[in-house]
Amino acid sequence: MTWRPEPYRDRIALVTGGASGIGAALGRALAERGAEVVLADRQLELAERVARSIGPRASAVELDVRDAAAFERVASQLLARRRRIDLLLNNAGIGVGGEMDTYCVADWDDVIDVNLRGVAYGIQAVYPSMIRRGSGHIVNTASMAGLCTAAGHGSYVATKHAVVGLSKALRVEARRHGVRVSVLCPGVIRTPILRGGTYGRLNLDGLSEARLAQVWERFRPMDADAFARGALDAVARDEAIIVLPRWWKALWYLERLSPRLGMALWGSALDRVRAELEASGAKPRTAASAPSTVGSTS
């Protein structure tokens, strides 16, 4: 397959989590570059609104990535209609913010189901058709939390490390089939997930949105559309691990050089954030009081 000079022209792309944030921005950037985009999301109405704002190159479909059979259905319907899926962007994700001593079992399950199983189900549903055609590109959205020590949201960190690992393994395996695999590792991007997102949550009581936003501002959040444009450029170059904004690469480098130093840095950052949150009156939720059904299928 020729990926240049117009690597995305007339490509068929399926983007999970396409109703919001990075997924919506990837959809916009793909359509701008001539691709036909299907935005697949649990939030159908929002995905439809985003698709309408993009124009005739975009459409929306309801998909809960935790449902393997539903993923298969969406993929087969798209394959029946368009004959191929050139790009699968496994991007849907949620987080549960809070230290692990605040966690209940659902805080693990909800995040693993979306962030890890959702990616695996996407691969199960679409990869075989790419193998048959001998081409395609799978792009999984992980995170810097999948490359570096990152405390304060353990289930998220665990799933993002897993997504980086499975993406590297799949990239090596898929090469012989002509299928490419990349993993996106965003730093901090300005999207609703920073406020908990629709299906995620924060195990903290008494934290105002303004205070939370202040905490994130320190990490200089990148605009989602700028992220998407940079990410697509790197995907077109077939980069394996895509870190954006680029300055986060310094932290990744440090982590590889000395995991101990990485942990020490994040340890002191966590101490600072903990002290600030305490001073602002925010209180960690106890595991017993944490909701057990938010983000579940019900």
Ligand X SMILES: NC(=O)c1ccc[n+]([C@@H]2O[C@H](COP(=O)([O-])OP(=O)(O)OC[C@H]3O[C@@H](n4cnc5c(N)ncnc54)[C@H](O)[C@@H]3O)[C@@H](O)[C@H]2O)c1
Minimum distance from residue 236 beta carbon to ligand X (Å): 19
- Alpha-carbon torsion, ordered 182, 186, 190, 193, to 10 deg: 80
Burial group, residue 210, by CB count within 10 angstroms (0-12, 13-18, 19+): exposed
Which tokens go with 208? Answer: 């105002």
Minimum distance from residue 177 beta carbon to ligand X (Å): 25
Give the long-range contacts of residues 117-121, CB within 8 A, separation 24 or more: 117/65, 117/66, 117/68, 118/16, 118/65, 118/66, 118/90, 118/92, 118/93, 119/65, 119/90, 119/163, 119/166, 120/166, 121/65, 121/66, 121/67, 121/68, 121/71
Q: Which is nearer to ligand X, 197 or 284 (CB)?
A: 197
DSSP 100-166: GGG--HHHHHHHIIIIIIHHHHHHHHHHHHHHHHT--EEEEE--GGGTS---SBHHHHHHHHHHHHH
Are the C-beta atoms of 241 and 183 separated by less than 8 Å? yes
CB-CB neighbours of 216 under 10 Å: 14
Q: Which is nearer to ligand X, 76 or 286 (CB)?
A: 76
Minimum distance from residue 142 beta carbon to ligand X (Å): 7
Minimum distance from residue 140 beta carbon to ligand X (Å): 9
> Does residue 253 have an active-site annotation?
no
Q: Which residues bind ligand X (CB under 6 A)?
A: 16-17, 19-23, 41-43, 63-66, 91-94, 114, 118, 141, 143, 186, 188-189, 191-194, 197-199
Minimum distance from residue 4 beta carbon to ligand X (Å): 26
Contacts of 138 (CB under 8 A, 6+ apart): 87, 88, 90, 122, 123, 126, 127, 130, 167, 170, 174, 179, 180, 181, 182
Q: Which is nearer to ligand X, 132 or 220 (CB)?
A: 220
8, 121, 127, 156: which one is catalytic?
156
Q: Which is nearer to ligand X, 19 or 96 (CB)?
A: 19
Q: Which is nearer to ligand X, 63 or 104 (CB)?
A: 63
Q: Which is nearer to ligand X, 44 or 131 (CB)?
A: 44
Identify the three-state secondary structure at position 60.
strand
Minimum distance from residue 133 beta carbon to ligand X (Å): 25
Strand 137-141 relative to strand 96-97, pairing: unpaired
Q: Which residues are catalytic?
A: 156
